Each structure stands twice: as structure tokens, then as C-alpha cells.
């Protein structure tokens, strides 16, 4: 095991931390650079550019503590208090799930759908979106940033999560267009919406990584025995929460497409239900496109 000199350079500290983190992370060098950058108050690029520099004693103490916590499998995002998602930086802490890169696909599909909706509704008012289980607010904020004429309801049961989301709403200056609602799933939604998106809890706790299970909030993870409990409740309530012609996008686990699709077709027997795969070829999003009645179509 590498040892850390008394007055190490950045290069020596990174080498030490990388060795320490070998058993706790799949990306030990990257983690070391991010943690040292956080301790120094620098970006990662500057850390890499200044390898010969000696680390101040106070910074070294902080860095050692961060590495120890990472060795206990605490997510880097909690240690630094930030995580990039869809090209935006978000504040995160232990009250919310760390945003995952795979969830960016949900935002991409929502933006694609919103573009088509606007083309078919050129004179309509703002697009109304609900993000159910908003957590850090990363989905709601990303959609608000990229859809300046949209109005977004960001719903979560956890007051702590909503406090984190509020900070991210302020950080990205979308406070006038994102409304936070506390409550269970769709219960607090004041009226039907045009687009409903959700990355609900869908994991089976016994099957997930130890670090995730130990450090991230159970409320945002636990999908029940088969990982399907929240989908069942959400889909049962969704028909009353959507306008005619509205859509619903649900992130799913890689083995859940058949079960969630069956639930969706029961809840929306006349809707188009399709499954979209991510870049790795895994089932990732269930898309539900409701149909517009003849009367509603005539009024458009």
C-alpha cells in the first residue's frame, strides 16, 4: 500500500489516494482528482495541470478525510456536494439520489416529445409538465432550462429532497417556472398535465451495490420486492392526471419492461406504449402516448 509523504505534491497525493481507493471504486484515479480538486477549491483540470505543486497542510487533512469516506463507499457527489447532469451542475447531498447518466435519456426523450407537441400545438399556452419523484430536481430543472415556455411541477414526498431541489431551481434561475409540490406521487398535482415524467424508485434493495444501499436515501431507491410497487400506484393514478393527447415517460430497470408495459396498457388501453433502449441496448424508458378523442381533436 502506498504511503503519503509529510509534505506531498499533488502527484504524490493522487498516487496515494488512487491506491487507497482501488477496492472502493471503479474509477479510483478520477475520484482522487475530484476529491483533491474539491479540497483545494480547484477544478479537475487545474489539479492535473499542477502536479508538482505541494499541498498545504490544512488541505491535506481535508483530503485524507474525503478519501477515508470514499473508502467507505460514500458517493463522490455527496463528498463534493455537486453532480453534473445534462450539462448542468447540481447540488446534491444525502437527502437525494445522486443523478445518474442513464437518466439523461429521460430528459432527451421528453425534449423530443415536447418539440413535436409544440409543432402540433403552435397557438397553445405553456406546455405543462409534472416530474414525479423529483429528488434533486435535476430532471425538472433540465427541462425548464431547455423548454423556456414550459411550466413544471416538481413533486416529492420528502421535504429534504424538496429543499435540495429548491436550491437547484435557484441555481439555474428557473424559480418562476418550476413549482415544488410535497406529497405522494400525483396526489398534490392541482390539475392535469401535458407531459408526465418520472424516474421512480425501482430497485430491489437486496440486489443493489452496497455503497448505494448504505448511503443513498432508501425512499428514492426501494421499489418493493420486485421493484414495481411505485409503477403500480403511479400508473393507476395517471389517467386522471393527463390531458387527452398527453404523454408519460417512465425510467425503468433493465429487466422491467414487460411488467411496466403490461401495467401501462391496463391503465391506458387505447394508448401507444413503446419501450426505448439506452446506448448500451438495455431497456430504459417506457413511453405512453395517449390518444386524442374525436371531440378533443376537433377543438384543437
Number of structural domains the chain divides into: 2
Residues 26 and 122 in one domain: no
Q: Among 72, 107, 122, give the residue marking a domain's end.
A: 72
Is the pTM higher than 0.85? The answer reads: yes
Q: What is the structure's pLDDT at 299?
A: 46
258 in a structural domain:
yes
218 in a structural domain:
yes
SS (H, E, C) the chain: CCCCCCCCEHHHHHHHHHHHCCCCCCCHHHHHHHHHHHHHCCCHHHHHHCCCCECCHHHHHHHHHHHHHHHCCCCHHHHHCEEEECCEEEECCCCCCCCCHHHHHHHHHHHHHHHHHHHHCCCCCCCEEEEECCCCCHHHHHHHHHCCCCEEEEEECCHHHHHHHHHHHHHCCCCCCEEEEECCCCCCCCCCEEEEEECCCCECHHHCCHHHHHHCCHHHCECCCCCCHHHHHHHHHHHHHEEEEEEEEEECCCCCHHHHHHHHHHHCCCCEEEEEECCCCCEEEEEEECCCCHHHHHHC
Q: What is the CATH number of the domain that holds 47?
A: 1.10.8.10
Q: What is the structure's pLDDT at 258?
A: 97
Residues 144 and 258 in one domain: yes
Residues 59 and 108 in one domain: no
What is d(CA 66, CA 52) in angstroms, rounded to the nearest whole number? 21
Taking the CB of residue 149, how many other CB atoms lie within 10 A of it?
A: 11
151 CB contacts (<8 Å, ≥6 apart)? 126, 127, 128, 129, 177, 179
Residues 129 and 211 in one domain: yes
Q: What is the CATH number of the domain that holds 158?
A: 3.40.50.150
Q: What is the structure's pLDDT at 207?
A: 67
Residues 240 and 287 in one domain: yes
Cell 409538465 -> residue:
129
80 in a structural domain:
no
Cell numbers that stand for 141 in this block: 430543472
21 in a structural domain:
yes
Residues 159 and 109 in one domain: yes
**Contact predicate 130/197, CB 8 Å:** yes
Host domain of residue 110: 97-299
Residues 272 and 126 in one domain: yes
20 in a structural domain:
yes
CA 51 to chain CA mean position, Å: 33
82 in a structural domain:
no
Residues 50 and 186 in one domain: no
Residues 236 and 122 in one domain: yes
Q: Which of 114, 157, 113, 156 is nearest to 137 (CA)?
A: 156
Residues 60 and 111 in one domain: no
84 in a structural domain:
no
Residues 164 and 37 in one domain: no
What is d(CA 271, CA 6) in angstroms, rounded to the nearest whole number? 66
Residues 129 and 201 in one domain: yes
Which parts of the chain sit beneath pLDDT 70?
A: 1-2, 204-208, 210, 292-300
DSSP string, 130-164: EEES-TTSHHHHHHHHH-TT-EEEEEES-HHHHHH
What is d(CA 255, CA 233) in angstroms, rounded to the nearest whole number? 19
277 CB contacts (<8 Å, ≥6 apart)? 283, 284
91 in a structural domain:
no
Note the pLDDT tens digit of each residue in 239-280. 999 999 999 999 999 999 999 999 999 999 999 999 999 999
Amino acid at each position: 500500500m502506498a504511503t503519503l509523504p509529510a509534505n506531498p505534491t499533488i502527484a504524490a497525493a493522487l498516487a496515494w489516494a488512487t491506491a487507497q481507493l482501488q477496492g472502493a471504486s471503479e474509477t479510483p484515479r478520477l475520484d482522487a482528482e475530484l476529491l483533491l480538486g474539491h479540497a483545494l477549491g480547484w477544478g479537475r483540470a487545474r489539479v492535473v495541470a499542477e502536479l508538482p505543486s505541494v499541498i498545504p497542510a490544512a488541505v491535506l487533512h481535508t483530503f485524507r478525510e474525503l478519501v477515508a469516506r470514499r473508502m467507505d463507499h460514500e458517493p463522490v457527489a455527496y463528498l463534493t456536494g455537486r453532480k453534473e447532469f445534462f450539462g448542468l451542475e447540481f447540488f446534491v447531498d444525502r437527502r437525494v439520489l445522486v443523478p445518474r447518466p442513464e437518466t439523461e435519456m429521460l430528459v432527451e426523450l421528453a425534449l423530443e416529445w415536447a418539440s413535436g407537441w409544440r409543432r402540433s400545438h403552435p397557438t397553445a399556452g405553456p406546455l405543462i409538465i409534472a416530474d414525479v419523484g423529483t429528488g434533486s430536481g435535476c430532471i425538472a430543472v433540465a427541462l425548464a432550462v431547455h423548454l423556456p415556455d414550459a411550466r413544471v411541477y416538481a413533486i416529492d414526498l420528502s421535504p429534504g429532497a424538496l429543499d435540495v431541489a429548491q436550491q437547484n431551481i435557484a441555481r439555474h434561475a428557473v424559480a418562476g417556472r418550476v413549482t415544488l409540490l410535497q406529497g405522494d406521487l400525483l396526489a398534490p398535482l392541482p390539475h392535469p398535465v401535458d407531459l408526465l415524467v418520472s424516474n421512480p424508485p425501482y430497485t430491489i434493495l437486496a440486489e443493489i451495490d452496497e455503497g448505494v444501499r448504505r448511503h443513498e436515501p432508501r425512499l428514492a431507491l426501494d421499489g418493493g420486492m420486485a421493484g414495481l410497487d411505485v409503477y403500480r400506484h403511479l400508473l393507476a393514478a395517471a389517467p386522471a392526471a393527463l390531458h387527452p393527447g398527453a404523454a408519460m415517460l417512465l425510467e425503468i430497470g433493465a429487466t422491467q419492461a414487460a411488467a411496466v408495459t403490461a401495467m401501462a396498457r391496463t391503465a391506458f388501453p387505447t394508448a401507444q406504449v413503446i419501450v426505448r433502449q439506452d446506448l448500451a441496448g438495455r431497456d430504459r424508458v417506457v413511453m405512453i402516448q395517449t390518444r386524442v378523442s374525436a371531440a378533443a381533436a376537433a377543438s384543437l
